[in-house]
Amino acid sequence: MQSKYVIGIDLGGTKIHGAISDFEGNIIFQKIISTCAQDGEKAVLNNIINLIDYIIKESNVQLTNIEAIGVGSPGPLDVEKGVIIKSPNLPFNNFDILTPIQTKFNVPSYLQNDANVAVIGEYLFGQGREYKNVIYITVSTGIGAGAIIDGKIYNGSTYNSLEFGHTVVDLNGPICGCGNRGCIEAIASGTGIARLAMQKVNNCENTSLKKYEKITAKEVFFEAEQGDRLAKDIVDNSLTYLGVSIANLITLFDPQIVIIGGGVAKTGDYFFNKIRSIVKEKGFYPSKEFCKIVPSTLDGNSGVIGAIALAIIEYNKNK
Amino acid sequence: MQSKYVIGIDLGGTKIHGAISDFEGNIIFQKIISTCAQDGEKAVLNNIINLIDYIIKESNVQLTNIEAIGVGSPGPLDVEKGVIIKSPNLPFNNFDILTPIQTKFNVPSYLQNDANVAVIGEYLFGQGREYKNVIYITVSTGIGAGAIIDGKIYNGSTYNSLEFGHTVVDLNGPICGCGNRGCIEAIASGTGIARLAMQKVNNCENTSLKKYEKITAKEVFFEAEQGDRLAKDIVDNSLTYLGVSIANLITLFDPQIVIIGGGVAKTGDYFFNKIRSIVKEKGFYPSKEFCKIVPSTLDGNSGVIGAIALAIIEYNKNK
């Protein structure tokens, strides 16, 4: 019997990451291209189709041995119809992205939002492998999350579950991109941390952050580590609120494991120690003791591995 | 074929409510007795067994036609082992409550915590009948919740999911019974509202609440309705935080319906209008628009109807 393969596509605002893999998650060929979002929806669709075509050819896998294609995309999506409803950094507007892919390759194709795809990837190939109740959180430009409940992806009633970044944790907090005040995304995302730091610098407060032309969360974490008081206050305040939000998530979902990925989480031990200590303080017994909080080990590849895992899970469901 | 019946037991700190019902939820006989918690665990167990015995006899149903017994109890519980781990208002301490009941009647018996039992009741016989993603919230002495996800009760990994009352919504809020600060239970439960009002009265603030010897949430809602400024501020503040917590719950679970019961929710239109308006303001689109927020129609009987529904669901699962 010949080996079976799937293709995963991680669609982002600046780049598209595609890969072909066997059913054990071993990637045999992969490529990253620019999204070229400014060229419009049809151009981006063509870029995806050409990328899939290129990957198949370079991998020397026969099209008949490719069982499924999984696509992870920012949302909101209509997962059942394969439609990207709209997305801040992509040109799509109620655009059916799956039908043209299925028509071109004659391979069953599946769409899921990027946070759900990431939790599926962790569940099949990452830190969530031995669990059936898994939550994945990404703390990056924005904050998102996805959940596996009893071994199945939890979509919610409108395919918009786990919009964790927009849970309100401080009624008097900063304004979020969504228009609300005090969402955790406004307080603890990379964007939120950088914005708060720039406000403080513009208020002429005393801080070594002044020396940077452009401040991102990375500089704030770095200066906090170097002992800058203001940077440390910003980091501690953000991580305290993030820890409380994660404690609430654990109090509600009672998961076995929370996996955290994304650029801000990559700041490392200080990040994880602080989150764990706040969850211990603010969570509810026994779920707070039972639930592990760990870094993603797929980071960087979590999008494309998640899309591969989506294809495998859907193939197994439908075979 | 003879009709089939189940028995539901709603175990509370002051009373035990038992009922026998057919599989359509029609109660044919019911009785409420005192728990007599002060007499200890064996005495309470005997009270339950005697109540079941009495209900069977008075209903004239043959024991062989009783298919299952459902017991709802405050937790934490070990649902799989049928054990009440401990409960603030009951004498049980790691007590196996199901084995003696099963041994005595030779009928399969099931245990679930009271909030989960209530959501099962709403799902089978109440406002949740036409939905598969249902959340039930009780706002009473404490605040609790239970969830039906994709048509099944969600227990969580340690059987402690949906400890909604202990999600932290104000880091600088009042101290909760659990020891934490700013849990929604400390701010918006009947106990929380009454405590806040009594503090204000003791601080000699100007309010018509002064005339009461004992202040409960009921008096605070009544005086707020009569135009008392301080009472209205307390009610509005509590319901704002409760609304934000419910908005967060909807943003995470993306349910079809949230059903609210319990004494505080019984205060009526003002309560529901305020909660709905805060969810509209603080929730995330589209889940906040999609999700209905409605009062429980089983209230008062929701415990025993939930225990009946638990018995029916478990019977159907195992038959």
pLDDT of residue A3: 87
Q: Please give the Cα distance from A275 to A222 (Å, whole number).
A: 18
pLDDT of residue B2: 61
Q: What is the dihedral of CA A254, A257, A263, A267, to 10 degrees?
A: 110
- Nearest by CB to residue B154, choosing from A149, A168, A248, is A149
The arithmetic mean of pLDDT across residues B223-227, rounded, is 94
A266 vs B: CB within 8 A: no
pLDDT, one tens digit per residue, over B237-293 is 999 999 999 999 999 999 999 999 998 998 888 999 999 999 999 999 889 999 999
Whether this model's ipTM surpasses 0.90 comes out as: yes
**Residue B72 — very low, low, confident or very high, per pLDDT cuts 50/70/90?**
very high
Amino acid letter at A20?
I
- Nearest by CB to residue B254, choosing from A149, A156, A251, is A156
A158 vs B: CB within 8 A: yes
* B182: closest CA of chain A, how far (Å): 10
Q: Please give the Cα distance from A92 to B262 (Å, whole number).
A: 45
B286 vs A: CB within 8 A: yes
Surface-to-core class of residue A225, CB atoms within 10 Å of its CB (0-12 exposed, 13-18 middle, 19+ buried): middle
pLDDT of residue B1: 46
β-partners of residue A73 are A113
Residue that has been written with the tokens 């509370």 in this structure = B12
| pLDDT of B298 above 80 | yes
Mean pLDDT score of chain B: 94
Instruction: State phi, psi for B279 to the nearest 5 degrees.
Output: -60, -40
Give alpha helix (H) positions in chain A: 41-59, 98-105, 114-125, 184-188, 190-202, 217-225, 229-253, 269-282, 287-290, 302-318
* B27: closest CA of chain A, how far (Å): 32
pLDDT, one tens digit per residue, over B28-67 is 999 999 999 999 999 999 999 999 999 999 999 999 999 9
| pLDDT of B20 above 50 | yes
Give percent of chain A above pLDDT 90: 85
Cβ–Cβ < 8 Å for A145, A249: yes
Block mean pLDDT (10 aa), chain A, length 319: 87 94 96 94 96 97 96 90 87 95 97 94 96 96 94 92 96 92 96 94 89 94 95 97 98 97 89 97 92 91 95 92
B14 vs A: CB within 8 A: no
A177 vs B: CB within 8 A: no
The arithmetic mean of pLDDT across residues B176-199, rounded, is 94
Q: Please give the Cα distance from B244 to B279 (Å, whole number).
A: 6
- For residue A195, give both structure tokens: 């914005």
The arithmetic mean of pLDDT across residues B183-193, rounded, is 96
Sheet with strand B27-34: strands edge to edge: B27-34, B15-22, B5-11, B66-73, B109-113
pLDDT of residue A2: 60
- Nearest by CB to residue B158, choosing from A158, A254, A281, is A254
**Chain B interface disruption, residue of A157, A253, A293, most B CBs within 10 A:** A157
* A5: closest CA of chain B, how far (Å): 31
**Chain B interface disruption, residue of A136, A158, A249, most B CBs within 10 A:** A158
Give percent of chain B above pLDDT 90: 85
pLDDT, one tens digit per residue, over B73-115 is 988 889 999 999 987 778 999 999 999 999 999 999 999 999 9
Mean pLDDT score of chain A: 94
A136 vs B: CB within 8 A: no
Q: pTM, whole model, 2 decimals? A: 0.93
B241 vs A: CB within 8 A: yes
Cβ pair A251:B290 closer than 8 A: no
